Structure 1
Amino acid sequence: MAHTSSPRGIHHVTAIAGSARGNLDFYTRVLGLRLVKKTVNFDDPGAYHFYYGDAAGSPGTILTFFPWENAAPGRAGAGELQETAFRIPQSAIGYWTQRLVNHGLERATRFGETVLTFRDPDGMRLALVGLPGLEAEPAWEGGEVPVESAIRGFHGVTLMLDRTEATGAILTDVFGFAEAGREGDATRYRAEGTALGGIVDLRAVGGFLAARMGRGSVHHLAFRAADDADQAEMVRKLAATHGLRTTEQKDRDYFRSVYFREPGHVLFEIATDIPGFAVDEPAASLGTALKLPRFLEGHRAAIEAALPVLA
């Protein structure tokens, strides 16, 4: 019975950016998110890895980026995470409509919710979903967005897939989502009882060109596991029921991860909620210092000299 109380939903989304300075500026100033961790790409220490989220860096609020200055633009298509949506108070729709007027803003209604779609400076597709009752939820107060209008973590993501059935089966069987509705070519899956990052919409777009990864593309989508045991159970189920193998567990300092490609070719990760972002700096000063994993600490001077200037 242990698994019924395990956290479910999205842990984080990781994308590819161009300019590190431009990325930092847009997400902290325009969108008002907190920079909760400034580190490097563990596999490519010449590039930053930025994590944005709520005040505490809670799972379900974290959008992360690898800014590669010379990355070629990605191409939208089948087999990718098409759109990342945040939650905002319904009362803040007017505020954000005005704030994002120069970012390709469009307004739509999906599954009965008001959705503002727009793009970041690299062309990444984003959305804000207005929801009732969010005013009472805590929000990051240190940004340029007034707290009553501030983003409250992820609403969910939209995946564009050639076919959706096998992916839907993994969402329901392994990650604790349930089908919650259909609209047009989209099937909505919801993690019951999960406010933050509890929605995954699968769009069936058979015959589309395959997506090409690049600047403005999402690199991978991470789902939550409470701890190593919870993660191991998901890995077991993926192999036993779906014939899918994951990588070995990798220590990402703030969570421990395994990766696999789901049937629609999107890279999925399962990330533990523990130990969290306050493991190497106080919660009050998250994101202020450059943090390096132990195996890179000895190369700090060379790494800092090679990284793009942010000031």
Structure 2
Amino acid sequence: MKLRPLKGIHHVSAITANAKKNYEFYTKTLGMRLVKKTINQDDPSVYHLFYADERGNPGTDLTFFEILNAGQTYQGTNSISATSLRVPDDESLQYWQNRFEQLGIEHDEISYHSGRATLAFRDFEGQRLVLVSDEDNVGVAGGRPWDRSPVPQEYGIVGLGPVKLTVSSFELTAKMLTDVLGFREARTYPSVISGGLDIQVFETGEGGTGAEVHLEERTDLPRESQGRGSVHHVAFRVEDGEELKHWAELLKELRIPNSGIVERYYFKSLYFREPNGILFELATDGPGFEVDEPFDHLGEHLALPPYFENQREQIEAMLEPLNTKQSPVNQK
């Protein structure tokens, strides 16, 4: 079955144990916009928060499930071991390094990997994040930072960059990426681990920072144990529901266990695990986050898909109140 290539990264979903502090960090420190405050549709007792560019364009969303009793993450293999966030250019990284120093955010020095300037840092729960410069990017376009962000637009985060997968068996995941999902091998770059194997870059669609998976094999680590500060899954972009249906048919044909198509209201999804156990999702580009909230008020109220509205009272009673009303900010 011949399918159109996946368009790039759609979103990355991670785990937090504290929605309030998470909201403060990703909106006030990183300057991303909360475009949707909703629930984990598989567990309506917890928040699902979506941070993105000004309107949550596909490829810009970093999302979090709040799991209050989430334990510590024990880092290891068969994991999404780093999430990249794109910034406009190399100059932006200098701004961010200064900002992190002023705010006391744990970070590394600006360095170069795979031909790009990068700045690795961690959030308050140890979430592994990397700012990556789009200065020489050719490929999937980024989004547009919100003009009410505390970060000046010219330095703002424009979307998701490459995701890094750390696995115990390179060949198994590589085969899934190329033979099933249609990624192509692009290049390699050296590991920062002494004696480590080169990291292989795979790309899809138009390529570029918004359409890459970086695959690393490590045989010296145990399997990662997920907790607060870890990544739950990565989603890749599919044009629409019709295309997603074709992907579901292909997975069935290949006998790859999967969820079937799941209605998420803001997009449709299809979930499955690659051979090392990392959860992948295919998600449609639309309809998007303005189906139930106007652009100017995205993320300000608890948004529930229509099929959860009759449970609103019970759901709100289970959730700790989280004030996400926006107020004017002074950029600095």
TM-score over 0.5 (shorter chain): yes
- TM interval, shorter chain, is over 0.9
Aligned-partner Cα distance in 2 for 1:201–1:282: 36
String of CA shifts for 1:242-288, please: whole Å, max 9, x gaps. x4121121111111111111011101111111211111112232111
Instruction: Tell me which moved more, 191-200 or 300-309.
Output: 191-200
Q: Does 1:255 align with 2:267?
A: yes
Aligned-partner Cα distance in 1 for 2:297–2:3: 34
Q: CA deviation at 1:179?
A: 0.8
Aligned-partner Cα distance in 2 for 1:137–1:148: 12
Aligned-partner Cα distance in 2 for 1:142–1:196: 25
Q: Does 1:221 align with 2:234?
A: yes
Q: Does 1:189 align with 2:189?
A: no
String of CA shifts for 1:206-263, please: whole Å, max 9, x gaps. 242001111111111111111122122223333445x412112111111111111101
Runs of 5+ in structure 1 lacking a partner? none
Q: Does 1:126 align with 2:129?
A: yes
Q: Does 1:205 align with 2:218?
A: yes
1:233 equivalent in structure 2: 246
Q: CA deviation at 1:192?
A: 4.2
Aligned-partner Cα distance in 2 for 1:166–1:118: 29
TM-score, structure 1 length as denominator? 0.92
Aligned-partner Cα distance in 2 for 1:28–1:133: 27
String of CA shifts for 1:53-86, please: whole Å, max 9, x gaps. 1112111111110112221111111111000001
Contact in 1 for aligned 2:84/2:160 (Cα 8 Å): yes
1:275 equivalent in structure 2: 287
Contact in 2 for aligned 1:8/1:225 (Cα 8 Å): yes
Aligned-partner Cα distance in 2 for 1:301–1:128: 40
The amino acid that maps onto 2:117 is T
2:330 equivalent in structure 1: none
Percentage of identical aligned residues? 39
Q: CA deviation at 1:128?
A: 0.2
Paired residue secondary structure (1:203): strand
CA RMSD of aligned residues (A): 2.1
String of CA shifts for 1:140-175, please: whole Å, max 9, x gaps. 212100001001101110001011222222222343
1:78 equivalent in structure 2: 77
The amino acid that maps onto 1:49 is H
Aligned-partner Cα distance in 1 for 2:13–2:188: 26
**Number of residues paired by the alignment?**
309
The amino acid that maps onto 1:275 is P
1:97-112 alignment to 2 at 5 Å? 97-101=97-101, 102-107=104-109, 108-112=111-115
Q: Does 1:293 align with 2:293?
A: no
Aligned-partner Cα distance in 1 for 2:53–2:307: 28
2:327 equivalent in structure 1: none
Using a 3 Å threshold, how does the CA distance of structure 1 residues 155 and 280 change in structure 2: closer, same or farther? same
Runs of 5+ in structure 2 lacking a partner? 191-196, 324-332
TM-score, structure 2 length as denominator? 0.87
Using a 3 Å threshold, how does the CA distance of structure 1 residues 93 and 264 change in structure 2: closer, same or farther? same
Runs of 4+ in 1 over 4 A off after TM superposition: 1-4, 133-137
2:9 equivalent in structure 1: 10
